[in-house]
């Protein structure tokens, strides 16, 4: 086997020495570069993969939570719109029946469609009014619900004279 010469820099003294292949196997210098070639390199890669995987999973969970929340809020906005339009329809009917046709009693709860029926979109309303001693209307009120069975979302409109 041929002898190979190599130069080894002594870390402590800074002196360069020549050695043969057999001598260099016997004397290994203490170097920080040896750590890179050690088995710990695999551990570092594993830790890096685990940290990056955790960050990606965390970001995915946050994005999923935000998406679910925005979908739920858009559903609540649709329920709110159904309820306000039902309340508006109830107020329009109350104005038509009581003011235009003079078809109301002295005071109290008058028109509602939550027990007898509902709109096509399942919304419903209840109306009420109040009169003063002269028989003039002082208050008209209509409450609309987005769903006549659950009555989950309610919106009210009120007119005072």
Which residues fall within 8 angstroms of residue 5, CB to CB, at 6 or more apart?
Answer: 18, 19, 20, 21
Local confidence pLDDT in tens for the 161 residues of the chain: 555 555 555 555 555 555 555 555 555 555 554 445 556 667 888 899 999 999 999 999 999 999 999 888 887 888 899 999 999 988 888 888 777 777 665 545 566 656 555 788 888 888 888 877 777 777 888 889 888 777 788 999 998 87
83 Cα distance to chain centroid: 23
Q: Where are the domains of the chain?
A: 5-34, 40-160
Supply the pLDDT for residue 117: 54
Residues in the chain: 161
> β-strand 16-20 against 108-112: which pairing, if any?
unpaired
Supply the pLDDT for residue 92: 87
Which residues fall within 8 angstroms of residue 144, CB to CB, at 6 or more apart?
Answer: 82, 83, 84, 85, 86, 87, 88, 89, 90, 123, 124, 125, 154, 155, 156, 157
Supply the pLDDT for residue 50: 94
């Amino acid at each position: 086997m041929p002898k190979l010469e190599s130069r080894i820099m002594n870390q402590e003294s800074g002196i360069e020495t020549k050695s043969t292949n057999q001598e260099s196997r016997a004397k290994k210098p203490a170097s920080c570069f040896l750590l890179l070639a050690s088995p710990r390199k695999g551990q570092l890669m594993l830790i890096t993969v685990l940290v990056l995987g955790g960050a990606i999973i965390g970001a995915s969970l946050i994005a999923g939570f935000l998406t679910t929340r925005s979908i739920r809020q858009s559903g609540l906005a649709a329920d709110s719109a159904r309820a306000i339009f039902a309340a508006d329809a109830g107020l329009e009917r109350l104005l038509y029946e009581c003011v235009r046709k003079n078809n109301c009693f002295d005071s109290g709860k008058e028109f509602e469609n939550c027990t007898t029926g509902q709109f096509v979109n399942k919304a419903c309303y209840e109306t009420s009014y109040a009169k003063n001693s002269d028989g003039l209307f002082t208050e008209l009120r209509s409450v609309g619900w987005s769903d006549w069975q659950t009555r989950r979302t309610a919106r009210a409109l009120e007119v005072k004279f």
